[in-house]
Amino acid sequence: MEKNSTLISIQAAQALVLKYSSVTSVIVEMDLCNALDYVLAINVISEIDMPPFRQAAMDGYAFSISSAITYTVVAEIKAGDNANPILKEGEAVRIFTGAPVPTTANAVIMQEKVAIQGHKMTVQMPLVVEMNIRPKGSQIKRGAMALAKGTKIKGAHIGFLASIGITKVSVYAKPSIAIVVTGNELKAAGTPLEYGEIYESNGTMLSAVLQELGYLKTSIITVADDYDQTKTTLKEAIQVHDIVLVTGGVSVGDYDFVGKALKAIGVEEIFYKVKQKPGKPLFFGKMGSVSIFGLPGNPAAALSCFYIYVYPLLKKGEGATNTQLLSIFMPITSDYDVKGDRAQFLKAQIEEDGVQILEGQSSAFAGSFGAANALVFIPEHTPKIKKGERVKTILLPIK
């Protein structure tokens, strides 16, 4: 065994992933409308006051408060009107939500709180200076920061930035990710299975999960259990991608060539074994700036390891401030007998009264992942968990 191949803890493995990953240096300018799910690389500063003028917050009447309670309505201002009439004492304008309030007015009264007779408007409530007027720049002032670097851009952010006239944003480029699936037994869906074959699903699954997280630059590459082919394929994948996720062939069976091939092409091994279930053999290595993961072949195990190790790397790469998935302690909804001594991640579903560990925990079963919205983390040497005990529940970033 080489020095690095010792069995390390989950915490140590997660720390190494973060230590050996960095924020991408590639910053791209992008149209705001295409920036959903990208992370802002440069603070956005507002170039305007929002609202850009004193704005009526109600449909009603604008006037300057005086000792009178009855005012003469002399004009009308709708949203979008470019009017600023000079009101004399005792005069009011009919005004609508979003319209500019005349400079000479200091109150807007809502239409439900006045009595109207011809051109006369009588106020029927106490008045307060600047009531129902949104001050210029009250949402954001010109020169103030609208959105901070490191923010993952969501729909509401796009709306807000659009409201202050932003059309382009600078964001971190998304990595290009290769998913290399290994195994002689793998067949593409759409063709009948021969005896001994199974349908390839890791590539399809990881690519979809990456898409769900906003990473669209993925390619699925298939390779047989053959040392030379594995070497060539991995070398090519590392040359043209930022991240390479390999599934299967990572343990030490006679036909598991991933570890040997990665070593032969010069990938630096950061760790190869983690004290956990699933995913005891789990490779993480670097070649220049490229990160390479050797994930388990079993689909559910591959996906668990993806969320625990690959997700933080992706988050760090895009400059996010929080790299780990959010976890909370929740009561478990029924007793659970833990199998084995290793620390483990179990597919689970958060319900109203706690978290339920799902049936079908086999690493080979991807189906139960569909029902999961969390992973429960069980520390090593935990024999049994009683109903109501609080367990660390890792929230999955699913839509």
Provide, rounded to whole angstroms, the least separation between the CB of residue 280 and ligand AMP.
Answer: 11
Closer residue to ligand AMP (CB): 92 or 206? 206
Classify residue 37 as exposed, middle or buried by CB count within 10 Å of its CB (0-12, 13-18, 19+).
middle
- Two structure tokens written together for 166: 């932003």
User: Residue 249 interacts with ligand AMP (CB under 6 A)?
Assistant: yes
Report the alpha-carbon distance of residue 349 to residue 358 in Å, rounded: 7
d(CA 285, CA 268): 5
- State both tokens at 115: 């009595």
| Residue (of 29, 53, 54, 57) closest to 41 by Cα position | 29
Interface with Mg ion, residue 319, by CB under 5 A: no
State yes or no: residue 249 binds Mg ion (CB under 5 A): yes
CB of 184 to ligand AMP, least distance (A): 9
Our finding on whether 298 is near ligand AMP (CB under 6 A) is yes
Q: Give the residue from 229, 230, 205 showing the smallest Cα distance to 218.
A: 205
DSSP for 356-374 reads EEPS---TT--HHHHH-SE
CA dihedral in degrees (382, 385, 389, 390; nearest 10)? 50
Stretch 32-61 residues interacting with Mg ion (CB under 5 A): none
Could you tell me which of 201, 179, 198, 174 has the C-alpha nearest to residue 187? 198
Binding mask 181-200 for Mg ion (x = CB under 5 A): --x-----------------
**Residue 338 CB, nearest approach to ligand AMP (Å):** 23
Residue with Cβ nearer Mg ion (249 or 319): 249
**Between 13 and 166, whose beta carbon lies closer to ligand AMP?**
13
Instruction: Return the bridge partners of 179, or none.
Output: 220, 245
| Nearer Cβ to Mg ion (202/344) | 202
Q: How far is the CB of 178 from ligand AMP (least distance, A)?
A: 14
The residue among 102 and 248 lying less far from Mg ion, judged by its C-beta, is 248
Q: Binding partner of residue 133 among ligand AMP, Mg ion, none, CB under 5 to 8 Å per kind?
A: none
DSSP designation for 306: I
Q: Which does 278 bind (CB under 5 to 8 A by kind): Mg ion, ligand AMP, none?
A: none
| Partner whose binding site includes residue 202, from ligand AMP, Mg ion, none (CB under 5 to 8 Å by kind) | ligand AMP
User: Residue 173 or 250: which CB sits closer to ligand AMP?
Assistant: 250
Q: What is the DSSP string of 110-140?
A: EGGGEEEETTEEEE-S---TTTTEE-TTSSB
> Which residue in 201, 232, 362, 382 binds ligand AMP (CB under 6 A)?
201
List residues binding Mg ion (CB under 5 A).
183, 248-249, 297
List residues binding ligand AMP (CB under 6 A).
181, 183, 185-186, 198, 200-203, 247-251, 296-299
